[in-house]
Amino acid sequence: MSACEMEGEARAHEVVAVHTPSRSYDVHVGVGIIDEVGQLTRAACGGERACVISDDNVAPLYANAVAESLAEAGYETSLQVFPAGEANKNIETLSGLLEGLAAAELTRNDVVVAVGGGVTGDMAGLAAALYLRGCQVVQVPTSLLAMVDSSVGGKTAIDLAAGKNLAGAFFQPSLVVADVDCLDTLAPEQLADSCGEVIKHAVLSGPELFGDLVSHPIVAESRDSEALVRLVAQNVRVKRDVVDADEREAGLRQTLNLGHTIGHAIEAASDFSLGHGSCVAAGLCCMARAAASRGWSSVEVARVIEDACLAHGLPADTDLDHETIVSFAAHDKKRHGDTINIVVPVAIGSATIRTVTLAEFEELVRQGCGTLTR
């Protein structure tokens, strides 16, 4: 752990190193470090031009501060802002961003800086991957979900009419800068939604992180900044360890899809009106109950996962009809021919990947969805 000095006070600042076959980079997690984006980008990326990409919710809050920091570090800086929301994570928005990068005359040595939540990180990351067949990207996540999950690991994508994240690329960032002070501007429901991915990581990680979440749920009133730095860094390490071992989701990285097969179906069926983290939480609980019904896990494992989600104000079930869930899941990228890969929580700290037929998946949906009795 390192500390940065600001106005004479030591503020929490942790650095997590990520090493993948395609790129190594640092994830900075700290308090009040958004003003350091410029100097950190200069050290990690070099280049002459920087294009900040943000959405119209986040840009008024943080885009100018990031742009000024980049300018102070010697970058010729431009800004692109697109309409917020999952509904705009599409090829039309992506096309506009690519044209903007060309208009700003970025070269392969220059850098795209994503400032925002998961949608912005996905859009800017994919634009950087495609523009000139790849220029550098820096992720500056401003939501808890983006800090602990989507900003790390290099997954970038847009949605298609057929489903979520169906067109994309693996493209690692050159740097991630997560300032937990940005979480102060999140509405309580946005913070709660982000906790879906945190709980998923805790289930994968083991009893220590999971127990901390159960005993100290993440709510604005009970987590100070230093505790949030530790929590975010701990989650990043969980994901880092998986991504380092399996960058392109050939095996182990598929465990990070825990809760996502059913969760993505719920999200897509809602026309993306439900938050991603909430859908992951519901999908996780549904799969845990189905696993218990099959004898792959225990009823106790399902119960404690449900308790953790409910304690964070997250849904533990869905009222969608089973046919709708199966239909949307059948279009998911985890499908392979007539089978689909699912991630099953076996215990707190253990998950396994199973390949099931679509008929078997339909039975799992019947056993786990719409079955919460409390």
Count CB neighbours of 229 within 10 A. 22
Q: Is 276 an annotated catalytic residue?
A: yes
Query: How far apart, in Å, are the Cα atoms of 70 and each of 52, 182, 283?
Result: 9, 18, 40
**Would you state the pLDDT for residue 2?**
41
The reported pLDDT for the residue numbered 6 is 40
Whether 23 sits among the annotated catalytic residues: the reply is: no
Same domain for 134 and 42, yes or no, is: yes
223 is catalytic: no
| Whether residue 333 lies in the annotated active site | no
Same domain flag for 139 and 270? no
Q: Do 182 and 238 sit in the same domain of this protein?
A: no
Digit-by-digit pLDDT tens for the chain (374 residues) are 443 434 445 689 999 999 999 999 999 999 999 999 999 999 999 999 999 999 999 999 999 999 999 999 999 999 999 999 999 999 999 999 999 999 999 999 999 999 999 999 999 999 999 999 999 999 999 999 999 999 999 999 999 988 889 999 999 999 999 999 999 998 888 889 989 999 999 999 999 999 988 888 886 555 688 989 999 999 999 999 999 998 988 788 899 999 999 999 999 999 888 999 999 999 999 999 999 999 999 999 999 999 999 999 999 999 999 999 999 998 876 677 889 999 999 999 999 999 999 999 999 999 999 999 87
Give me the number of domains the chain comprises: 2
**Active site annotation includes 253:** yes
Does the annotation mark 334 as catalytic?
no
What is the number of other CB atoms lying within 10 angstroms of the CB of residue 15?
13
Distance of CA 221 to the CA centre of its chain: 23
The verdict on 258 and 182 lying in the same domain is no
CATH number for the domain spanning 342: value is 1.20.1090.10
pLDDT at position 207 is 95
Same domain? 264 vs 144 = no
362 is catalytic: no
Please tell me the predicted confidence (pLDDT) of residue 143: 95
CATH classification at residue 6: 3.40.50.1970
28 catalytic? Reply is no
Is 197 known to be catalytic?
A: yes
Phi-psi region of 132 (alpha: psi -120 to 50; beta: other; left: phi over 0): left
| 150 lies in some domain | yes
Residue at 194 is within a domain: no
The one catalytic residue among 42, 257, 289, 306: 257
Alpha-helix residue ranges (DSSP H) falling in the chain: 37-45, 64-72, 91-103, 118-130, 144-145, 188-205, 207-215, 225-245, 260-269, 276-294, 299-311, 322-329, 358-368
The helix (run of H) or strand (run of E) holding residue 14 is: strand 9-19
Say whether both 241 and 338 belong to one domain.
yes
Residue tagged active-site, from 13, 201, 260, 289: 260
Residue 281: give the domain boundaries: 234-368
- Could you tell me if residue 241 is inside a domain? yes
348 touches 210 (CB < 8 A): yes
Asked, for residue 85, whether it belongs to a domain, the answer is: yes
Among 278, 140, 302, 280, residue whose Cα is nearest residue 200: 280
